[in-house]
Amino acid sequence: MSDIVLSVENVSKLYRLGEIGTGTISHDLNRWLAKIRGKEDPFSKIGAVNDRTQKAESNFVWALKDIDFKVRQGDVLGIIGKNGAGKSTLLKLISRITSPSTGLIKIKGRIASLLEVGTGMHPEMTARENIYLNGAIMGMTKKEISRKFDAILDFAGCTMYVDTPVKRFSSGMRVRLGFAVAAFLEPEILIVDEVLAVGDAEFQKKALGKMKDVSQREGRTVLFVSHNLAAVKDLCKNGMLIKNGSLSFSGTAQETVLEYQKIVGGGNVYFHEGSIESAIGNNNIRILEFSALPTVGEEINIESGINVLLKFYNSKPNINIDATFELRTSDEVTVFHHGPLITQKNDSKTGIYNVTFKIPSKLLNAGNYYFKVIFGENQRYVLYTNPDLISFEVQNISIGSNSSTLPGVIRPNLEYAIDFNYL
């Protein structure tokens, strides 16, 4: 007996780029002609890959292409990817808001999607009326809502305002009310899209806790889309990475988050895939890999220490190369300047060099940092400069009784001595 509750089979979604509504009658006629002659949709052949950085060659784009995966009962699947990669489109297909262009989606059990909280709430109606309305929109029956009504009000924390029109609520309260209704849905499969990005910290904690409850204690299946990598790692067992409309990686949530950080510039890991010529850089130098990872543990914090790795391709033989690292804070303060010589006496070779060094623990203070890297010849001529390929955040942790962030760019652990004399 298999316990697969959601099976997505070769699903693709084709979208039309540009303005919709002009000249579509001719396209429609074309399509219709192809259809009655039993041919394939003439526009689906020319669909481009969903990569928003490239200039479109055709008017049609595959927002999703051949997505294929299965989800087991009780699984909590985190779906991550860059903006516009197709995550939300996928959720929309699964929650039946729009239909796929090809492929099948099979679902077992009731499915509820939270692509937004408080959908359909009417500002003129009271909280009570809105709970019923929103609950019914989400697929609950009146009886079900009545049964859970008090619990919903309690969770939202607005028992006092039950007969006040929602338009008098603060936006935070409205979100709380909406989430509270959703939290008491009892679907077999719950789909959540980034709704936690709103609301205050306390509410986010509450919402995440509720989701954890739903998945771990009640054994429900959850699909969770978020840019909050910490939340994905915390909540999800498995992960899935969507890149340019196709499934590029799936594995445990930890692995997926790491994989994601590799493809996203601006994170603490840059990793180039593909030919050397297409890597970032110029004709002299191409950067293949650049990362700042904690020496110990999972996250970079004030005690972890940082291993920095730079892997680059050099095309100029027989010169003297140096690579200069400038560590800067997000407020443009240069923390240090580190310029290791790669070669000593005009003997560089064409090929790949690796540079590694370690930033000791208890040196950097908590905050955001980034690396500027300059490749030079004979310490005089610049071969290539990259202003900010990788960045990272140093987390604060409490040391002794002090848990707050201290001022200063660095937070060194200085050796000290105390001498005391009576007068």
Positions touching other proteins (CB under 8 A) are 2, 7, 15-16, 20-21, 24-25, 92-111, 113, 115-116, 119-120, 122, 124-125, 129, 132-133, 136-142, 165
Closest CA to 374 of 338, 403, 413: 338
CB nearer other proteins, residue 171 or residue 404: 171
CB nearer other proteins, residue 21 or residue 274: 21
Encode 91-133 in three state secondary structure.
HHHHCCCCCCCEEEEEECCCEEEECCCCCCCCCCCEHHHHHHH
Smallest gap from Cβ 26 to other proteins, in A, equals 13
Phi, psi of 260 (to 5 degrees): -65, -45
CB nearer other proteins, residue 13 or residue 82: 13
- One DSSP character per residue, 180-216 reads HHHHT---SEEEEESGGGSS-HHHHHHHHHHHHIIII
Tell me the C-alpha distance between 296 and 280, whole Å: 29
Tokens 């709430």, residue located: 121
Q: Is the sign of the CA dihedral 93, 98, 104, 109 positive or negative?
A: positive
CB nearer other proteins, residue 89 or residue 261: 89
CB nearer other proteins, residue 101 or residue 261: 101
Distances from the Cα of 214 to the Cα of 186, 225, 333, 391, angstroms: 9, 16, 45, 35
Smallest gap from Cβ 133 to other proteins, in A, equals 5
Smallest gap from Cβ 101 to other proteins, in A, equals 6
Tell me the C-alpha distance between 252 and 259, whole Å: 11
Encode 61-82 in three state secondary structure.
EEEEEEEEEEEECCCEEEEECC
CB nearer other proteins, residue 187 or residue 376: 187
Which residues pair with residue 4 across a beta bridge? Answer: 72
Kind and range of the H or E run holding 351: strand 351-359
Smallest gap from Cβ 224 to other proteins, in A, equals 16
CB nearer other proteins, residue 133 or residue 177: 133
Smallest gap from Cβ 318 to other proteins, in A, equals 58
CB nearer other proteins, residue 131 or residue 292: 131
CB nearer other proteins, residue 30 or residue 379: 30
Smallest gap from Cβ 147 to other proteins, in A, equals 13
Smallest gap from Cβ 294 to other proteins, in A, equals 39
Which residues pair with residue 221 across a beta bridge? Answer: 189
Region of residue 198 (left: phi > 0; alpha: psi -120 to 50; beta: else): beta
Smallest gap from Cβ 115 to other proteins, in A, equals 5
Smallest gap from Cβ 204 to other proteins, in A, equals 20
